[in-house]
Amino acid sequence: MKILVLNSGSSSLKFQLFDMTCHKVLYSGLIEQVRDHQQAIKTMVEKLSGQGHIRQLADLDAIGHRVVHGGECFKQPTLINQQTIEAIEQLIPLAPLHNPANLLGIKMARQYAPDIPQVAVFDTSFHAGLPDYACIYGLPYELYNKHHIRRYGFHGTSHHYVSKKAARFLQDYHNLEHPRLISLHLGNGASAAAIDNGQSIDTSMGMTPLEGLLMGSRSGDLDPAILFYLARETGADIQTLDDLLNKQSGLKGICAQNDMRLIIKQAEQGDKLSKLAIKIFCYRIKKYIGAYTAALNGADAIIFTGGIGENSAVIREQVCKNMNSLGIKLDKHKNQQASDNILELQSQTSKVKILVIKTNEELEIATQTYTAIRDPQ
């Protein structure tokens, strides 16, 4: 059972070929500077056939496509047909950068392999069941009806994957069922999710991936009136403000660097703004842990994932510092360990478990694709 996972971006095509009988990655590739998606798919097929995995796309059992925005239509992985494509097209205004690139990948793959099942797996669908009080903004309600303005949340595939792994682990090793989890996906993009018994009940990203935690170059939460102020004071137009908040802010805006490894290095060498950027990054995460502990009426475990969450002991330590009143106590020695498996970092007296779980969005997309073609809805 060979399933190809495609992540078609505006300037890159990422792909992984899985053998789902043994959950093994057969091939993993990245084609950058993609201007022509048709050429990119051809190059990908050449690479896969060069390795003897397939001769043509039609030899695959299925293709799973990552799609960023599923709006309110897509609550689960969905078999792709003309109707699915049209519905994803209708969602372009909600994700003008991502959905068109995802769609190009889908259309090309269907052109080359029209007869194999293809499945769209959405970044938003894990959060599709958020309660209304968590996803409706304090705006006139008609804006929700008319313009679909609400919290959708993203990184769903990652939060879903690590939360399932955490739940299995907590059941097997701690006899804990129906856990209340706070999942922290900390990479270039960063988000938190509150997960109650397998269901996402709140998440920090909003209608777009701009809200919430401080990120590599995105501001995360801020007072929206800052935008009106800037527009009035500087004459900045919408595109300039969009660029400012999405591309020039966050860690990069504060210390001119968005790579956390380098920021930590600069901070160790005494750079004040790098130190400040790390403090703001960790403090924002801490506040969300507090909020989600309240939303969940107590947390059983916190999960660190994403490039920063999985690899940075320094950041995990700062996030968990002075949280003992919430029952969160990190064991500094355990925090220095590294493993490809699940790590447990809490001290013996910590009420809340602190887990590090390596995310694997591609495997989750392959698994969901497999399930969707096996049990079509």
- Contacting residues toward ligand ADP, per CB under 6 A: 187-189, 216, 259-261, 264, 306-308, 311-312
Strand ranges (DSSP E) for 48-157?
62-67, 78-79, 118-122
In whole angstroms, how close is the CB of 157 to ligand ADP at the nearest point? 12
Q: Determine the Cα–Cα distance for residues 159 and 154; give it in Å rounded to an integer.
A: 9
In whole angstroms, how close is the CB of 264 to ligand ADP at the nearest point? 6
In whole angstroms, how close is the CB of 64 to ligand ADP at the nearest point? 18
Chain centroid to CA 101: 17
- When CB distances to ligand ADP are compared, the closest residue is 307
Rounded to 5°, angle at Cα 125 from 341 and 370: 60
Residue 299 makes CB contacts below 8 A (sequence gap 6+) with 180, 181, 182, 289, 292, 293, 326, 352
When the beta carbons of 207 and 267 are compared against ligand ADP, the nearer one is 267
In whole angstroms, how close is the CB of 307 to ligand ADP at the nearest point? 2
* Exposure string over 314-344, b if 16+ CB within 10 A, otherwise e: bbbebbbeebeebebbbbeeebeeeeeebbb
When the beta carbons of 122 and 370 are compared against ligand ADP, the nearer one is 122
Chain centroid to CA 46: 30
When the beta carbons of 170 and 184 are compared against ligand ADP, the nearer one is 184
In whole angstroms, how close is the CB of 257 to ligand ADP at the nearest point? 9
Helix (H, G, I), strand (E, B) or coil at 33: coil
Q: Determine the Cα–Cα distance for residues 337 and 319; give it in Å rounded to an integer.
A: 17
When the beta carbons of 33 and 82 are compared against ligand ADP, the nearer one is 33
What is the DSSP pairing of strand 62-67 with strand 118-122? parallel
Active centre residues (catalytic): 123
Q: Of the candidates 129, 131, 165, which has an alpha carbon nearest to the alpha carbon of residue 301?
A: 165
In whole angstroms, how close is the CB of 260 to ligand ADP at the nearest point? 4
- Rounded to 10 deg, the angle between the 225-234 and 238-247 helix axes is 130
Tokens describing residue 358: 């390596």
When the beta carbons of 54 and 308 are compared against ligand ADP, the nearer one is 308
When the beta carbons of 264 and 354 are compared against ligand ADP, the nearer one is 264
Residue 147 makes CB contacts below 8 A (sequence gap 6+) with none
Q: Determine the Cα–Cα distance for residues 375 and 39; give it in Å rounded to an integer.
A: 33
